[in-house]
Amino acid sequence: MFRGAAFFRSVQAKLIIVYMLLILIAMQLIGVYFVSAMKTSLTNNFTNDLKEQAELLSVLAGQNWTGSGEAAEDKTASLRTLVDNFSSMSSGEIQVLDVSGRVLITSLSTHADLVNSKNTQTVVSRALQGIDDNEEYIIDEDNVRKKVVAKPVVSAGKIVGAIYIVASMQSLYDTMQRINGIFISGVLIALCLTAVLGVILAHTVTQPIKEMTKRATAVAEGRFHVRMPVFGSDEIGQLGEAFNHMTSRLQGVLALNEEEKEKLSSILTNMSDGVIAADESGSVILVNRVASAMLGMREADIIGRGISGLLDLPEDDEELPSAGLRSIILGGSGGTPDSPGGPGGREDLTIKATLSPIHRRESGTEVGVSGTIAVLQDITEQERLDTLRREFVANVSHELRTPLTTIKSYTEALEDGALDDRAVAGRFVGVIQNETERMIRLVTDLLQLSRMDSKETALRRKKADLFELVEEVAERFMFPLQGKGIGIRLKASPDLGTVNVDRDQIDQVLDNVVSNAMKYTTEGGEVTLDAYRLEDGLRYAVVVSDTGIGIPKEELGRIFERFYRVDKARSRGMGGTGLGLAIAREIVEAHGGDIAIESELGQGTRVTFTLPAYAEGGGE
């Protein structure tokens, strides 16, 4: 009993039942449609046959009715012959009626008593009224279903009678009954075949599943050598192949885990960032080469040490992180309050240490912290750039605030009454104009530097005579220099050669350098311009030297920084923005050259930059 109940709960029984239900439903739908269509077709054919007989008989009867000079007996005999001929082709009763509905002739001898009686059926009345399409479905006193058809008989354009045909439909319904019986027998046979085929098909589907269940149990017990036989390439076969593949993967999982550990160790060892791993007590268990280089220690000396002491963490950070990430900056320029020096005693590095807990998991659930991972990043250059950025912002703010403050002060003075004194007002307006021009120069230089930094400025290189470039600069500055009592000397040779440069930008470099030489050279001094071809033949050197006040050696390293001035008060008083040499360096480097400055305090300054020589074809 229980085995039978278990069978009906099995996949095999469910598949068999589903197959049988599908066939049964499909056969029922087909049967309903087929029987309905067959019944409609047979009924229509039966009715159409009766109508055609009635129509033909009415036409022939009308022709016989019009015989001129015939006696009534001859007309009746002619109609009798006509009815007898048709009755052999018809299974029903044929009656010929006159215009009053009286029966003249009937095809059935058993109904001879109906002759001369009146047929009062509705279809007869409609036919005698001239209505052509008259049919009716009736059930007689013997419970026999019949079809009645009536057609008017027209002679000489007048209705002279009617043809009445009544036929039994019992044979039609008997045929339908036999068809239904045949169909039901076919359904039963189909269900039996479906049950047999369902058992066979269900067995082919469920048997591999049973085998797979047995082998899965064996694998769960640790017998990884068990394999699932694969027959065919259908879904069951694919499932078997997947099972075998899974078993192979499980069998090699221990070796794979070991291999993955080795890979992870290799990755950590060769990462570009430093990595230190510590256990739950804080002792270092793993360190890569980058981290040991940052700390300035050997790997063997790091293993086993406490991570907090190794990274110079402050006392309140002795406890290892247990919730999330923790980032600490270690180094001389950005260390924590308790560790002003870099880790391992290195003062030249600024290191960002990001500490993250290693969570212990059991069955996918976190149950504690088993250690710490520290990722070390050398951010020395980033810190330097951040410092330069902050200084740049501060310098820009200062450079803009100074002329704006001056303009505001002089504007307020003019509003307070200085405007009435034309001499004072003119002087104040001149100061305002000078400060405005100074701000315009500053903004223009900043925009040019910004375009150079973003690579938006494209060089329009052309062939240019280097001597002409230097000579034009000397001519432009001749009168301003002479006005200050400073001499200018051009040492370059006229047959110097050509360079491949953006002439406008190189003019700007020369203007900036010569302008600086003029600002910092006192009366009686001299500015010299020289140019010559270097030994490699691919470049030219342009030299601008002066006999000015010079630059202290400790300041030379920052001379090309933006907004940097050796003598800030004097430079600002001369209208300088502190960006000229920075722009000059950007332009020269964009041409593929370099720029350098040599100076000695009280002796003068020498600026040298290189430019690419022009080669045949227009390139460098």
Residue 298, token pair as written in the block? 């050997």
Inform me whether the pLDDT recorded for 363 exceeds 80.
no
Distance CA 580, CA 566 (A): 13
Confidence at 69, pLDDT banded by 50, 70, 90:
very low
Statement: 11-175 belongs to CATH 3.30.450.20: yes
H helix intervals, 416-502: 422-453, 466-483
| Alpha-carbon torsion (560, 564, 570, 571), positive or negative | positive
CA distance 183 to 547: 124
User: 240-244, 279-283, 440-444, 519-523: which has the minimum mean pLDDT?
Assistant: 440-444
By DSSP bridging, strand 487-490 and strand 526-533 are parallel
Rounded CA-CA distance 535/519 in Å is: 33
Average the pLDDT over each of 320-329, 368-377, 447-456 and give the range with the smallest value.
Answer: 320-329
Q: Higher model confidence: residue 509 or residue 360?
A: 509
Q: In this structure, are strands 539-546 and 526-533 parallel, antiparallel, or unpaired?
A: antiparallel
- Give the separation between CA 105 and CA 350, rounded to whole angstroms: 130
Radius of gyration, CA atoms only, the chain: 58
Per-residue pLDDT, averaged over 559-586, amounts to 69
Q: What percent of the chain has pLDDT over 70?
A: 81
Tens digit of each residue's pLDDT (9 = 90 or more) over 448-487: 667 666 666 677 888 888 999 999 988 988 888 888 999 9
The answer to whether the Cα torsion of 532, 534, 535, 538 is positive or negative is negative
**For 423-427, 553-557, 572-576, 586-590, which range has the lowest pLDDT when averaged over its residues?**
572-576
Of residues 308, 321, 303, 304, the one with CA closest to residue 369: 321
Q: List the structure tokens of 291.
A: 């981290």
For 290-321, what is each residue's pLDDT tens digit?
Answer: 888 888 888 888 888 888 788 776 655 444 44
Helix, strand or coil, per DSSP, at residue 391: helix
Looking at domain 271-331+349-360+367-377, which CATH architecture does it have? 2-Layer Sandwich (3.30)
Is the separation of the CB atoms in 163 and 153 below 8 Å? Answer: yes
Predicted local distance difference test score (pLDDT) of residue 9: 65
Which tokens is 440 given? 């315009």
Instruction: Tell which CATH architecture fits domain 462-612.
Output: 2-Layer Sandwich (3.30)
According to the model, what pLDDT value does residue 456 have? 62
Burial of residue 168 (CB within 10 Å: 0-12, 13-18, 19+) is middle
Task: Report the pLDDT value the prediction gives residue 605, as an integer from 0 to 100.
Answer: 92
Q: Residue 377 has what pLDDT?
A: 84
Which two three-digit tokens encode residue 430? 């001149």
- For the segment 344-351, the average pLDDT, to the nearest whole number, is 66
Q: Report yes or no: 16 and 212 within 8 Å, Cβ to Cβ.
A: no
> Does residue 595 surpass a pLDDT of 60?
yes
pLDDT at 345: 52
Secondary structure string (H, E, C) spanning 523-573? CCCEEEEEEEECCCCCEEEEEEEECCCCCCHHHHHHCCCCCCCCCHHHHHH
Q: Which helix (H) or strand (E) holds 415?
A: helix 380-415
Same fold, 11-175 and 271-331+349-360+367-377: yes
pLDDT band at 332 (very low <50, low <70, confident <90, very high): very low
The pLDDT of residue 261 is: 81
When pLDDT is cut at 50, 70 and 90, the band that residue 325 belongs to is: very low
> What pLDDT shows up at residue 71?
52
Q: Give the neighbor-by-neighbor strand order of the sheet with 274-279.
A: 284-287, 274-279, 365-378, 350-362, 326-331
Mean pLDDT over the full length of the chain: 78
Name the strand (E) or helix (H) holding 215.
Answer: helix 170-220
Assigned token pair, 283: 């002792």
Does the pLDDT of residue 322 top 70, yes or no?
Answer: no
pLDDT band at 541 (very low <50, low <70, confident <90, very high): very high
**What is the domain partition of the chain in residue ranges?**
11-175, 228-270, 271-331+349-360+367-377, 384-454, 462-612
- Give the span between the Cα atoms of 26 and 229, in whole angstroms: 36
What is the structure's pLDDT at 525?
Answer: 92
Amino acid 410: pLDDT: 77
**Residue, of 110 and 345, whose pLDDT is higher:** 110
Cα separation, 29 vs 26, whole angstroms? 5
187-240 confidence digits (pLDDT tens): 888 888 877 887 777 777 777 777 777 877 877 777 777 777 776 677 777 777
Tell me the mean pLDDT in the region 150-172. 83
Q: What is the mean pLDDT of residues 349-363?
A: 79
pLDDT for 577: 63
608 pLDDT exceeds 90?
yes
The more confident residue out of 138 and 70 is: 138
Top-level CATH class of 384-454? mainly alpha
- Whether the Cβ atoms of residue 59 and residue 126 lie closer than 8 Å to each other: no
- Looking at per-residue pLDDT, the higher value among 105 and 140 belongs to 105
For the residues of 107-148, what is the DSSP string, one character each?
Answer: S-GGGGGGTTSB---HHHHHHHTT---EEEEEE-TT--EEEE
Q: Which of 311, 290, 308, 307 is nearest to 299 (CA)?
A: 290
Q: pLDDT, tens digit, for every residue of 401-420? A: 767 777 788 788 778 777 77
pLDDT confidence of residue 338: 34
- By CB neighbour count within 10 A (0-12 exposed, 13-18 middle, 19+ buried), where does 260 fall? exposed
Q: State phi, psi for 602 to the nearest 5 degrees.
A: 85, -5
Contact between residue 285 and residue 303 where contact means Cβ atoms under 8 Å apart: yes
pTM above 0.75, yes or no: no
Whole-angstrom CA distances from 492 to 42, 496, 528 are: 122, 7, 10
